Amino acid sequence: MSLSLKNPEFLIERNYDRCINCQVCERQCANDSHYYDEEMDKMLSKDENCVNCQRCVTLCPANALSIRQYPLEYRKNSNWTGEMINNIYKQAESGGVLLTGMGNPTPKKIYWDHILLNASQVTNPSIDPLREPMELKTFLGRKPGKLEFDENGNPFPLPPQLELDTPIMFSAMSFGSISINACRSLARAATASGIMYNTGEGGLHQDLYQYKENTIVQVASGRFGVHQEYLEAGAAIEIKIGQGAKPGIGGHLPGEKVGDEVSRTRMIPLGTDALSPAPHHDIYSIEDLRQLIYALKEATDYTKPVSVKISAVHNVAAIATGIATAGADIISIDGYRGGTGAAPTLIRDNVGIPIELALAAVDERLRREGLRDQVSLVIGGTIRNSADIVKAIALGADTVYIASAALIAMGCHMCQKCYTGKCNWGIATQQPDLVKRLNPEIGEERLKNLIRGWSLEIKEMLGGMGINAIESLRGNRLMLRGIDLNERELAVLGIKHAGE
Amino acid sequence: MNVINSKGIYYRELNKEIRKLVARGTREITLENVNGQRYIGDGIKEPVKITIHGTPGNDMAAFASGVEMTVYGNVQDGAANTMGDGKLIVHGDAGDILGYAMRGGQVYIKGSVGYRVGIHMKGYQEKQPVIIIGGTAGDFFGEYMAGGRLILLGLNREKESIVGNHLGVGMHGGIIYIRDEVEEYKVGLEVNISEADEEDRKEIEKLLSGYCEEFGLDLEQVMDAKFSKLIPVSSRPYGNLYAY
């Protein structure tokens, strides 16, 4: 191979007045960005290997390190940005598809930031959540249009429901894409917080069966780790059709991440790529989807809600209607900013639509069709804080999925290199030496704290609006106003402009 | 022995009845006059023998893991979908996507099968699912196969081709044996074709013995032919697809 034209993305700066040559940075970096030169008796860096995960910066006992964008700047050009030039060098050298991790980082409009919440003043008193009860409990599943009773006057049982203490769930992340310790952290935190986590499509590791009451098990096209015991273990079952980061394409878990445990859980040979193509080859229509939904219901004797997860795409409202009529109990929609362990960069950044608009359109359509009670709506991609959650619920969501935020709580620094399997924070890796860096007890604690903090904030915002139950906020778009939005955008969102 | 006359019974009632019998400890059930009822035997873990007369509907034995089902008739699409263990014996033909992501157990089809049969089959160490088909198979046979064994015999056919196009595309594990020659143009780039050697033939013979016994075939006669063996070229067919 000829000389690589790629320039380093990041510059490692070492303050030699502080560096004590302890080599912690070298041991902590799975990308070999640091090394000790004996002749010079000093630590040196290989900038080109650095992914800016900040592991060395955080762990350096002498505070000697900092990392920043590489200062090399191409001639100013709004069309050909440095990133695009580097990407072309990368592809000219490899002939491959550009790959990336995590959610869409491009500076496209984030509608959450153009929506403002209401608060009570004078005419309608606000409620103080510190002193008064505030209900966040959320039930997911089909709600009957009316109650029916048997001849003795006893009501027929309700369709199965998921009960959540707060309207937040951890979104699908598979064992394989993330480490067993990351899975453990999520499962334990979900259990302790009275919410759900989602296995993703990688099956369920034996150690995680104990958390089954707080587990949503996923069934995707590759059917990895799907068997009767797995289906029975789930509090709910989710059929994965699409994912916001890569609508319309499947997943490839690279062989580097398929070690012993992943191989056993997924039932594929060691070191092979785990291939999950985009289509389920038994689903080519809404009728086929219905068939899988009911096969799963039959296999679990109608005891669990079945969810169908799709990515937000252009005709999402019509698709959601189809899913509702196909018999799904929950529809989960993932916006185009949603994260991933690996996706082709150009697909992540260019395919799909914003979740805010998709949610508003779906909720509106389901209401118009009289189907809204028959399904619960879960949205994700991306929820960044509790205000996003409150806005999502006011737009019509029953609850939200979070994944990137959960990873960040566990220590992720958003370097977007999950697909390399060399996550220095022990999250998106299967290398035993890296996996053990994430202590599941600490991971659990941090996730629990995040859920607690967000739940308190949601209560504060509800109280401010004079609402004392999350149920009263659901689909209550009068609590929302837009700013810097045009009439089309306001119409799709179904909200008024600020000042109206 | 319990016999259910399935005529005119909605699938949900029928399957509820079956589950009720299984929960009560019944281990042999016969269904008469089955006509298109879906999801029969789905998710059953107990070692129950279910004999079916008629034509069961889509997705029979899906997610099942221990049930032994014998069908005197044809089965429709999606039989043995993600089946974990157990047995499915069909004295007739089967439709599309038979044995999708099957993880264990055996499927014996006396006649022919449709498209996308044995796709995404899994296998781990000694647990290897097996599908044996007496007749022919359609396109995308063994697509994305990751484990297990697919055996296609092509018995009793005249001029038709034993298998369709796009055979084994995306295959990255397991073995396909075909009792004929396979044209290069039919297989995916990910597949290597060779003639089954002595070792392979021993394996085939072992796998076929139960099948031949079930359908009253002469094992020696079935073995008296060349078998093609298809295996993945690489366990990472798309390993160099990406620019890192």
How do residues A383-426 score in pLDDT, each as one tens digit? 999 999 999 999 999 999 999 999 999 999 999 999 999 999 99
What number is the average pLDDT over the span A261-288? 89
CA angle A351, A353, A354 (to 5 degrees): 130
Q: Look at residue A223 and tell me whether its pLDDT is greater than 50.
A: yes
- The reply to whether B38 touches chain A by the CB within 8 Å rule is yes
Best of B11, B59, B82, B240 to mutate (most A CBs within 10 Å, chain A): B82
What number is the average pLDDT over the span A24-31? 97
Task: List all residues of chain B from 138 to 177 with a beta carbon under 8 Å from chain A.
Answer: 140, 143-144, 146-147, 170, 172-173
Residues A282, A404 share a domain:
yes
pLDDT of residue B3: 96
Q: Look at residue A252 and tell me whether its pLDDT is greater than 90.
A: no
What number is the average pLDDT over the span A26-53? 97
Percent over 90 (pLDDT), chain A? 89
What is d(CA A109, CA A14) in angstroms, rounded to the nearest whole number?
37
- Cβ distance B242 to A98 less than 8 Å, yes or no, reads yes
What is the residue-averaged pLDDT of chain A? Answer: 95
Give, in order, the Cα–Cα distances in Å from B177 to each of A198, B144, B146.
Answer: 38, 16, 15
pLDDT of residue A2: 63
Give the side-chain half-sphere CA count within 13 A for A45.
22
What number is the average pLDDT over the span B174-201? 95
Q: Look at residue B91 and tell me whether its pLDDT is greater than 50.
A: yes
Task: List all residues of chain A from 162 to 221 with a beta carbon under 8 Å from chain B.
Answer: 221
The confidence band for A1, taking pLDDT boundaries of 50, 70 and 90, is very low
Which residues, at least 6 apart from A103, have a Cβ–Cβ distance to it below 8 Å?
A244, A245, A337, A338, A339, A340, A348, A381, A382, A404
pLDDT of residue A114: 98
Task: Establish if A228 belongs to a structural domain.
Answer: yes
Asked if A91 and A42 count as a contact pair (C-beta separation under 8 A), the reply is: no
Residues A119, A61 share a domain:
no
CATH code of B93-244, in short, is 2.160.20.60
Burial annotation A250-281 (CB, 10 A radius, 16+ → b, else e): bbbbbbbbbbebbbbbbbbbebbbbbbbeebb
Task: Establish if A3 belongs to a structural domain.
Answer: no
What is d(CA A443, CA A188) in angstroms, rounded to the nearest whole number?
9
- CB contacts of A419 in chain B (<8 Å) are 242, 244
pLDDT of residue A127: 95
Q: Look at residue A204 and tell me whether its pLDDT is greater than 60.
A: yes
Task: Establish if A84 belongs to a structural domain.
Answer: no
Task: List all residues of chain B from 63 to 122 with a beta carbon under 8 Å from chain A.
Answer: 63-65, 77-78, 81-82, 84, 96-97, 100-101, 103, 116, 119-120, 122
> Both tokens of residue A168?
């937040």
User: What digits encode the pLDDT tens for the residues B30-69?
Assistant: 999 999 999 999 999 999 999 999 999 999 999 999 999 9
What is d(CA A348, CA A105) in angstroms, rounded to the nearest whole number?
9
Residues A425, A350 share a domain:
yes
Q: Residue type at A365? A: R
What is the count of structural domains for chain A?
Answer: 2
Task: List all residues of chain A from 292 to 311 with a beta carbon under 8 Å from chain B.
Answer: 292, 294-296, 298-301
ipTM, 2 dp: 0.95
Read off the pTM.
0.95
pLDDT of residue B237: 76
Show contacts of B27-32: CB within 8 Å, 24+ apart.
Answer: B28/B1, B28/B2, B29/B1, B29/B2, B29/B3, B29/B4, B30/B1, B30/B2, B30/B3, B30/B4, B31/B3, B31/B4, B31/B6, B32/B3, B32/B4, B32/B5, B32/B6, B32/B7
SS3 B150: strand
- Cβ distance A96 to B144 less than 8 Å, yes or no, reads no
DSSP character at residue A255: G
- The reply to whether A267 touches chain B by the CB within 8 Å rule is yes
Could you tell me how many CB contacts below 8 A there are between chain A and chain B?
149
Q: Residue type at B168? A: G
Residues A448, A302 share a domain:
yes
User: What digits encode the pLDDT tens for the residues B92-116?
Assistant: 999 999 999 999 999 999 999 999 9
Closest partner CB to A272 (pick from B101, B127, B236): B236
What number is the average pLDDT over the span A318-329? 98
Note down the domain range covering A255. Answer: 115-497
Q: Look at residue A171 and tell me whether its pLDDT is greater than 60.
A: yes
The CATH number that applies at residue A26 is 3.30.70.20
The CATH number that applies at residue A202 is 3.20.20.70
Task: Tell me the nearest-neighbour CA distance from A8 into chain B, angstroms.
Answer: 13
Which residues, at least 6 apart from B39, have a Cβ–Cβ distance to it below 8 Å?
A294, A295, A298, A299, B11, B15, B57, B58, B59, B60, B62
- The reply to whether B46 touches chain A by the CB within 8 Å rule is no
CA angle A363, A245, A101 (to 5 degrees): 150
Task: Tell me the nearest-neighbour CA distance from A24 into chain B, angstroms.
Answer: 26
Residues A479, A344 share a domain:
yes
In chain B, what are the domain boundaries?
1-65, 93-244
What number is the average pLDDT over the span A207-213? 97
Asked if A252 and B19 count as a contact pair (C-beta separation under 8 A), the reply is: no
Best of B48, B96, B120, B126 to mutate (most A CBs within 10 Å, chain A): B120
Asked if A424 and A430 count as a contact pair (C-beta separation under 8 A), the reply is: no
Sign of CA dihedral A240, A278, A200, A274: positive
Task: Establish if A79 belongs to a structural domain.
Answer: no
Identify which has the larger pLDDT, A89 or A256.
A89
- Kindly report the backbone phi and psi dihedral angles of residue B80, in degrees, each rounded to the nearest multiple of 5, phi listed first: 55, 30
Closest partner CB to A273 (pick from B42, B143, B172): B172
Residues A334, A275 share a domain:
yes
What is d(CA A468, CA A126) in angstroms, rounded to the nearest whole number?
9
Task: Establish if A93 belongs to a structural domain.
Answer: no
> Both tokens of residue B72?
């005197």
B243 to chain A: nearest residue by CA? Answer: A96
- Cβ distance B241 to A96 less than 8 Å, yes or no, reads yes
Task: Tell me the nearest-neighbour CA distance from B3 into chain A, angstroms.
Answer: 21
Closest partner CB to A272 (pick from B58, B97, B146): B146
Residues A125, A41 share a domain:
no
- Cβ distance B101 to A98 less than 8 Å, yes or no, reads no
